[in-house]
Chains A and B, each alone.
Chain A
């Protein structure tokens, strides 16, 4: 069915390739030139960017508003944490699949339940399911450490005898995973499957009458989103060194929604920009006015909902188009 319904302005043949290559080079060089503190911010940005991109698959592309997306993320983190702390499993090659599998499983079950309803009911079911995970994480103290969280999660052990971690290596490790996830998700949203998701977002009855299995498409999108949230989760627990119930809760789900919204949910790389902005803003404000961070975050949410419809990346893309028309010819 060609590219009829594609609203993605950034799909110019050369421009994205160039900008991706340039950003890639910047991301590779950056940790060599910035202080070690910024390295950890960059790592955090990349982890949350995977999380935000996964949310955008179901929110921006499929039109499902889930308030429980952090469940997959948190469950993956907790799987890593519990297996390491309680069972002494430390090999990354065992932990990572286990974490991703659990996250995917959560999404498979939750999606099956939540997709029976739509609209505000879908939102509320995902909220309740997410809070269910949060309640378990808070109350199952013997396993999860309760509301104090589960500390003592080491960086993943890769099984290479000559290799020891430092912050820079871990950054590059996360960067590699991020690039893989970015590429895979990019391929997914630009595949016929991805276009079908957009069709479902814009008009589900139309897609159904065209013969698409709308429910199955949404379900698969939900599971895939859970899988990638799990990838972010397995990176996050070792990065932070601990995991706490708040990372399963509606607070984290909405935080990631805000990242997607500010970045822009109709441009593929938008969530990455939004994530970077929010995390940089958070670090700035915790440097100057740590007490007022929630106020600043709330203000940013209100401003972006009221005035930045479509998000910042839309303006970036428009700016790029302008530059291109002025200097680049066709």
Chain B
């Protein structure tokens, strides 16, 4: 029972982290039809940016400011990618994939160049580093904080996409980009904004995740593959789908690691293949991209 409760918390909190990362990826995929494989690298840079800010500010360090810095780092690098490169490769899937994979190499090596190949352990901020006792169990507060932040981001995203004018433009663009542009909306600007925002979320996820699992320059590709699994399970372009997919993967991951560690990735990839074959739009996808 205790093990189950603990694994559930670990799974849900990790799932929330994956959600924040994958939400950005799925938005970019849904709106821009761009598969950004370098999304995981933005996660890494977000993590390092937050960590560096925390280090620099020393005793005045602020968790929320560092998170913001992580997000901004991810967002700005993402914006550079989109404006400088990907916007010239509209609708050219193989070129997008190769370009962003090239950027994985570049970002990974630059991160290693700047910060070294070592695992950087990051501690949660003091006000979140305690633990919460439930019955005889004590759970780390930071994991609850991640769940709370993730839920807030999910709620905010849902509100943004479903209940605002910008959201209706986004949804219109997902359904028919040409028609939306034909109505006189500046979709180029909106696309860039979405890309920035998605990359921002990757950076935020990076800094939040740093205190869970540390940072290395090399984790970009693995975390990107996890995010891709999430958006495939949930359906590309769907925020709610990303939440569902992330929860599933997070829980499978934590229980799998505890009980049958050799089959976690295997199960995840198998699930991905099954979903792509039998329900290519994912569990909650809008329509085929």
Q: Which residues of A contact B (CB under 8 A)?
A: 59, 65, 67, 113, 116-117, 119-121, 123-125, 127-129, 131-132, 135-136, 139, 250-251, 254, 257-258, 261, 291-295, 297-302, 305-306
Contacts and interface: CB of A to CB of B under 8 A. Distances in A.
Interface residues of B, number: 40
B110 A295 contact: yes
A301 B99 contact: yes
B166 interface: no
Contact of A121 (B94, B108, B280): B280
A297 B97 contact: no
A131 to B, nearest CB: 5
B272 interface: yes
B104 interface: yes
A302 B270 contact: no
Interface string B99-114: 1011111111110110
B277 A258 contact: no
Contact of B277 (A67, A113, A123, A254): A113
B269 interface: yes
B4 interface: no
23 contacts: A113-B277, A120-B93, A120-B236, A123-B93, A125-B273, A128-B229, A132-B266, A132-B269, A135-B266, A135-B269, A136-B266, A250-B221, A257-B98, A292-B109, A294-B105, A295-B105, A297-B105, A298-B107, A298-B109, A300-B102, A305-B85, A305-B89, A305-B95
B225 interface: yes
B273 A298 contact: no
Contacts of B108: 294
A59 B35 CA distance: 18
B154 to A, nearest CB: 24
Interface in B67-114: 85, 88-89, 93-95, 97-99, 101-110, 112-113
A306 B103 contact: no
B232 interface: yes
A114 B265 CA distance: 19
Nearest to A59: B94
B109 A295 contact: yes
A301 to B, nearest CB: 3
Given A121-B276, A131-B265, A301-B99, 11 more contacts: A119-B289, A124-B272, A128-B232, A129-B273, A135-B266, A254-B97, A261-B98, A291-B112, A293-B109, A298-B102, A306-B99
B97 A258 contact: no
B133 interface: no
B166 to A, nearest CB: 25
Contact of B102 (A123, A125, A251, A302): A302
B276 A258 contact: no
Nearest to B89: A305
B2 interface: no
Contact of B98 (A120, A131, A132, A254): A254
A298 B113 CA distance: 14
B178 interface: no
Interface in B257-283: 262-263, 265-266, 269-270, 272-273, 276-277, 280
Contacts of A120: 35, 93, 236, 289
B51 interface: no
B280 A258 contact: no
A128 B272 contact: yes
A128 B225 CA distance: 9
A251 B220 CA distance: 13
A289 to B, nearest CB: 10
